[in-house]
């Protein structure tokens, strides 16, 4: 257990170096106002799923597939809308995670059925596909109207899914399930904290989350080789230093932490912490394009390239090709991002058939109201 915060080490700024990032944008034919929320790729197919709000507490999901991530076509989805009532769907899907491994795509989430009196019932489901175009769904084992899948990873020959229970009270544990085929799922235990991130590393599973009691927050990291037995540690950050993103490169895990040094957001500082065992942490040099007040968006490592979105008035991307020793800093503006109607809406960073890709949406102005168009930006 860490006795003092690793953030107590004096901050060090990494060197600025390497070429600026350049991008090629590809628009994805999802429904208008639905950005790309989830993407996964096999060697022969890429799947993109997005959703948009339709009325109070309802959403509409859509899916597109591609052979190469460049040319896309819309397809029917396991999250399709059901019959409508007064123009709103009676049944609709809410996907939460999507992944590919060993010949199948798997997505998990909930299906919501709305009765004539307006009451809704939620059922946790998994959806499987071998080509990204044709899907079959399976109800997951849990009490009706209670399970909310949140994350999905592959560990060896098994899928591992994390889920929470609905209930209106603060979550104090995370349920874990595993499956060899995406059809039959079994409980594999619990984590005694609310999960934020679940990642597969070269050494097994890494989990990161928090436990909150009496206005005090404990940040927890945990590791496992089988998703059943876990070793955990308290990461002494404090309530004003939340973990905003995580990237994994082999057996190395990097947390991007927002350190609120004075209690004012304008003084917020982003710091990087690194670990090879997921339990003990050391500070890393901070990318030079992080400045006071910045928030951090998605982060990922793809093919040895690290990328971190900096969510500022002008969004920027920090890129390192030498595991954080030097960084380039690129403003996400210009023709690829078409920012004249507003900044891009970046939801994630993904590995798309070996290419680092930003996923989300770009803003268009068809009239008086802005809308999202789903888009993927590939690092050149």
Is a pLDDT exceeding 60 seen at residue 295? yes
pLDDT at 161 over 90: yes
Distance CA 128, CA 161 (A): 14
Confidence of residue 363 (pLDDT cuts 50, 70, 90): confident
* HSE, side-chain direction, 13 A CA sphere, residue 295: 11
The answer to whether the beta carbons of residues 370 and 361 sit under 8 Å apart is no
Q: How far is CA 187 from CA 101, 228, 258, 374, 376, in A?
A: 20, 9, 34, 35, 35
Q: How sure is the predictor about 246, in pLDDT bands with cuts at 50, 70 and 90? A: very high
CA–CA dist 233, 256 (Å, integer): 18
The sign of the dihedral angle between the CA atoms of 234, 235, 236, 238 is negative
d(CA 28, CA 177): 32
Is the confidence at residue 155, as pLDDT, over 60? yes
What is the spatial distance between Cα 77 and Cα 159, in angstroms, rounded to a whole number? 21
pTM of the model: 0.91
Residue of 217, 280, 218 lying closest to 252 (CA atoms)? 280
pLDDT in tens, 13-51: 999 998 999 999 999 999 888 899 999 999 999 999 999
Task: Give me the DSSP letters along 296-341.
Answer: EEEEEEETTEEEEEEESSS-EEEEESSTTSEEEEEES-STTT-GGG
Helix (H, G, I), strand (E, B) or coil at 3: coil
pLDDT of residue 268: 73
Examine the pLDDT at 123 and tell me if it is beyond 50.
Answer: yes
1: pLDDT strictly greater than 50? no
């Amino acid at each position: 257990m860490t006795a003092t915060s690793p953030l107590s080490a004096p901050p060090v700024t990494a060197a600025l170096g390497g070429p600026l990032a350049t991008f090629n944008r590809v628009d994805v034919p999802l429904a208008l106002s639905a950005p790309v929320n989830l993407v996964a790729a096999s060697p022969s197919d890429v799947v993109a799923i997005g959703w948009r709000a339709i009325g109070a507490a309802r959403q509409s999901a859509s899916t597109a597939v591609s052979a190469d991530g460049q040319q896309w076509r819309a397809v029917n989805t396991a999250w399709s809308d059901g019959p409508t009532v007064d123009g709103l769907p009676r049944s609709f899907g809410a996907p939460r995670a999507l992944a590919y491994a060993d010949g199948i795509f798997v997505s998990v989430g909930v299906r919501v059925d709305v009765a004539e009196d307006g009451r809704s019932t939620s059922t946790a489901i998994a959806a499987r596909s071998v080509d990204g175009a044709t899907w079959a769904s399976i109800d997951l084992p849990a009490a009706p109207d209670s399970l909310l899948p949140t994350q999905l990873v592959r560990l060896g020959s098994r899928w591992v899914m994390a889920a929470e229970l609905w209930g209106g009270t603060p979550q104090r544990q995370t349920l874990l399930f595993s499956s060899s085929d995406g059809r039959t799922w079994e409980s594999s235990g619990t984590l005694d904290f609310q999960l934020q991130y679940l990642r597969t590393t070269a050494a097994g599973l890494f989990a990161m989350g928090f436990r909150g009691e009496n206005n005090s927050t404990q940040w927890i990291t945990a590791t496992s080789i089988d998703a059943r037995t876990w070793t955990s540690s308290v990461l002494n950050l404090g309530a004003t230093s939340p973990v905003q993103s995580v990237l994994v490169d082999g057996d190395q895990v990097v947390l991007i932490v927002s350190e609120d040094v004075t209690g004012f957001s304008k003084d917020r500082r982003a710091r990087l912490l690194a670990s090879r065992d997921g339990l003990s942490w050391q500070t890393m040099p901070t990318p030079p394009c992080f400045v006071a007040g910045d928030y951090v968006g998605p982060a990922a490592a793809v093919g040895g390239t690290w990328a971190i979105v900096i969510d500022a008035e002008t969004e920027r991307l920090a890129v390192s090709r030498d595991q954080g020793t030097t960084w380039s800093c690129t403003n996400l503006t210009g023709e690829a991002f078409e920012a004249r109607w507003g900044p891009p809406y970046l939801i994630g960073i993904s590995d798309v058939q070996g290419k680092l890709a930003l996923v989300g949406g770009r803003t268009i102005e068809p009239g008086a109201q802005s809308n999202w168009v789903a888009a993927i930006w590939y690092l050149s």
